[in-house]
Amino acid sequence: MKKTHQFQVRVYYEDTDAGGIVYYANYLKFMERARTEWLRELGHEQDKMLEQSVAFVVKRVEMHNHAPARFNQLLSIESQIVELKGASLTFRQEIKDPQGHKLVTADVKIACVDPVVMKPRKLPATLLGDLSSGI
Amino acid sequence: MKKTHQFQVRVYYEDTDAGGIVYYANYLKFMERARTEWLRELGHEQDKMLEQSVAFVVKRVEMHNHAPARFNQLLSIESQIVELKGASLTFRQEIKDPQGHKLVTADVKIACVDPVVMKPRKLPATLLGDLSSGI
Amino acid sequence: MKKTHQFQVRVYYEDTDAGGIVYYANYLKFMERARTEWLRELGHEQDKMLEQSVAFVVKRVEMHNHAPARFNQLLSIESQIVELKGASLTFRQEIKDPQGHKLVTADVKIACVDPVVMKPRKLPATLLGDLSSGI
Amino acid sequence: MKKTHQFQVRVYYEDTDAGGIVYYANYLKFMERARTEWLRELGHEQDKMLEQSVAFVVKRVEMHNHAPARFNQLLSIESQIVELKGASLTFRQEIKDPQGHKLVTADVKIACVDPVVMKPRKLPATLLGDLSSGI
């Protein structure tokens, strides 16, 4: 399994603000799409996981905004897992513009929870296995 | 009870796009906030309604965009109910800029549903009563 | 040139609401993405158009919501142009779920404007030509 | 001048996701609204500042999510300034639920830029004065 995941996101009007650049909260959307697609490529569909009482919540975000993304750019997101525990994991994600300039870097810590009671729970063994072989 | 409801919304960066104006989908957010606050003023809190299996879904939107709203404007939203049936109601809503210019008008038809099975259901009698006295 | 345009959109958490379904305003985002990609396939990049003082604003939306889209679904959007004038055009767009059920249909009227003064202007001749051959 | 700023935000459907809680990126919207209203109370309107080539961009976010906010809650946001430099400032912001439970804490570093060239610039002297008396 590959150790990093690549994903691309197009910047639409919906993502920008009156400053002419991507609104800062929207980078968090882009990075979640990338994480979701990585899980999907590993065979883990989150709607199916929800039915098994497995959900994810973000516990911590540390985001550095180096330069702004702009309308209509095709952005690249590179993701890797930098910490993997029994009930949480941390992604390091980097967003680049079409010229390869680094725009945003972030560490995002995700906890696995039971969505009904919103309590922490262990990552499913199969997911843990698939992800740990990716570090 | 008053026949129309007034509400104000401030335009933040999050609401605008790179064209320097409010992104068109966001007017639908503003209008829903106004509808929600009207119900709240009548004593109907939607989280409580959800616990009683009463939810609302939008069935139809007809929106006319006359002129754009801009960053930092304080917008006024006037709402009235133009149709009230057993299991649905239609709001007519108008968004104006601080100078009173009409920016957006919309008719929004809402259906009452049971949120678990997503099937139509009658509006609760107390809500129907409160709303019908407002037409 | 094809007479209709096909596009796919994945439903992420960002698109859903506490009702467990796609938030109604977000269908307008999905439909705009589809329109943008159609123009791109025809060779018309909107950031380049902006530099030539060509922008688009939505003037009218008539949206019918037949059934809700849900988290993690891969939606299909079919778009066609049902009216094409000198300074405006109207798209008819239909969103379907993975089983082919019709979820949302909408007519969206777009006006071409000069983004600096926000005044109507004619569609560029090359775009008009490319689009009219698609009707 | 007060040393901290208090602001309230209502959670609407638009802010939630299918997990039944506020979507994590949306806390960044709430916190920006609070910062904007603080500046407004000090007499600094951002649309006027833009006309004088003064804009703000977020450079760094460190957000800790302790517990989720839920649909229809009225949240309280307390903001303070923990660092104030010539061309940047850092806010510490805390979001609490109606019972006073701490949901989200974040440090948000903002840089002052010239919006045309997107280059750093000094904070206007009057704003710097108003903010420094608030630390």
Give pLDDT tens digits for A50-67. 999 999 999 999 999 999
Distance from CA of A25 to the nearest CA of D (A): 5
Tokens of D54: 């003064």
With 60 as the cut, is the pLDDT of residue C126 above it?
A: yes
- Dump strand ranges (E) for chain D: 5-10, 55-65, 74-84, 88-96, 102-114, 119-120
Percent of all residues in chain A with a pLDDT value above 70, rounded to a whole number: 97
With 50 as the cut, is the pLDDT of residue C7 above it?
A: yes
Give just the sign of the alpha carbon dihedral C39, C41, C47, C49. negative
Which of B10, B16, B27, B73 would you mutate first to test chain A, the one with the most A CBs within 10 A? B16
Q: Which amino acid is at B94?
A: E
**CA distance linking residue D23 with residue D70, whole number of Å:** 10
> What does chain D come to in residues?
135
Establish if C45 touches chain A: CB-CB under 8 angstroms.
yes
Domain ranges of chain A: 5-132
Establish if C16 touches chain D: CB-CB under 8 angstroms.
yes
> Are the C-beta atoms of residues D82 and D92 closer than 8 Å to each other?
yes
**CA distance linking residue A115 with residue A54, whole number of Å:** 7
Q: What is the DSSP letter of D20?
A: S
pLDDT of the residue at D68: 96
Establish if D118 touches chain A: CB-CB under 8 angstroms.
yes
Closest CA relative to residue C21, chosen from D24, A54, D14: D14
pLDDT of the residue at D1: 46
Give just the sign of the alpha carbon dihedral C16, C18, C20, C24. negative
Residue D2 — pLDDT band, cuts 50, 70, 90? low
Does the global pTM surpass 0.95? yes
**CA distance linking residue C76 with residue D44, whole number of Å:** 46
Could you tell me which chain D residue has the CA closest to the CA of A64? D60
**CA distance linking residue A32 with residue B3, whole number of Å:** 44
Tokens of C75: 């939606």
- Dump strand ranges (E) for chain B: 5-10, 55-65, 74-84, 88-96, 102-114, 119-120
CATH topology of domain C5-132: Thiol Ester Dehydrase; Chain A (3.10.129)
Residue C133 — pLDDT band, cuts 50, 70, 90? confident
